[in-house]
Amino acid sequence: MSANTIIKTIFIDAPRETVWTYLTEKDKLAVWFHPADQNFVEGESYALLRDAEGGSGDENRICWGDVVRMTPPEELICTFTVNMLGGNTTNLTWRLEEVFGGTRLTLHHDGIDKAAGDQALDMLRALDVGWDRHFATLRDAINNPADVACDAE
C-alpha cells in the first residue's frame, strides 16, 4: 500500500447485504453518491452522472470506470476516473466486513499519484474531502432512509 492511498472506514448499522446494494444498484447510488447509468455488473463499464435525466453522454458523466470484480457482499473492485484526471484511471477497492450486527465498510482508493502526476496532492485533498462527505451521506441514507429521501426533494 502506498502513502498516496486514501483509506476510509465507517461502521454502518445494517447488514453487509444492505450496504452492498448501496454500492452497486443505480437507484441507491443516486441517494448517496451520484445517479448511475446502470447497476454495477462485473466486467462492464459504469458512469455516475450529474443528472439522471440527462442521459449517459460524456458531458453528463461525473466519474466513470470499469467494474473489475464483484464478490457480494464482501468486496467490490472498480477502476475510477474523473475529467480532471485526463483519462487516467485510479482504483477503488470496497471491503465489507460483518461486525457486531452491522457492517464495517472500508474504501481503498489508490493510483491517484500516478493518474494525477504533478497535481497529485491537490487531487488527494479533493478526493479525501469528497469521500468524507459521501460516506456521511451513505451512513445517513442507510440508517435513516426516510430523512434522506425528504432532504433530496
pLDDT of residue 60: 86
- Note whether 72 and 20 are within 8 A (CB): yes
Residue 1 lies in a domain: no
Residue 140 lies in a domain: yes
pLDDT of residue 3: 81
Q: Which stretch of DSSP H or E encloses residue 100?
A: none
pLDDT of residue 101: 92
Integer Cα distance of 55 and 121 in angstroms: 32
For residue range 11-66, what is the model confidence (pLDDT) as tens digits?
999 999 999 999 999 999 999 999 999 999 999 999 999 876 666 567 789 999 99
> Is 50 exceeded by the pLDDT of residue 146?
yes
For residue range 93-126, what is the model confidence (pLDDT) as tens digits?
999 999 999 999 999 999 999 999 999 999 999 9
- Residue in this structure with the C-alpha cell 426533494, named with its chain if needed: 153
Q: Which domain holds residue 60?
A: 6-144
Residue 135 lies in a domain: yes
> Is 70 exceeded by the pLDDT of residue 86?
yes
Residue 78 lies in a domain: yes
Residue 94 lies in a domain: yes
Residue 153 lies in a domain: no
The pLDDT of 66-85, averaged and rounded, is 96
- Residue in this structure with the C-alpha cell 461525473, named with its chain if needed: 62
pLDDT of residue 145: 75
Q: Is the pTM of this model over 0.85?
A: yes
CATH of the domain at 56: 3.30.530.20
Q: How many domains does the chain have?
A: 1
The candidate with the shortest Cα–Cα distance to 130, out of 61, 63, 53, 36, is 63
pLDDT of residue 59: 77
Residue 151 lies in a domain: no
- Note whether 24 and 39 are within 8 A (CB): yes
Name every residue whose Cβ is closer than 8 Å to that of residue 11 and which is 6 or more positions away in sequence: 99, 102, 103, 104, 105
pLDDT of residue 149: 47
Integer Cα distance of 19 and 13 in angstroms: 9
Residue 93 lies in a domain: yes
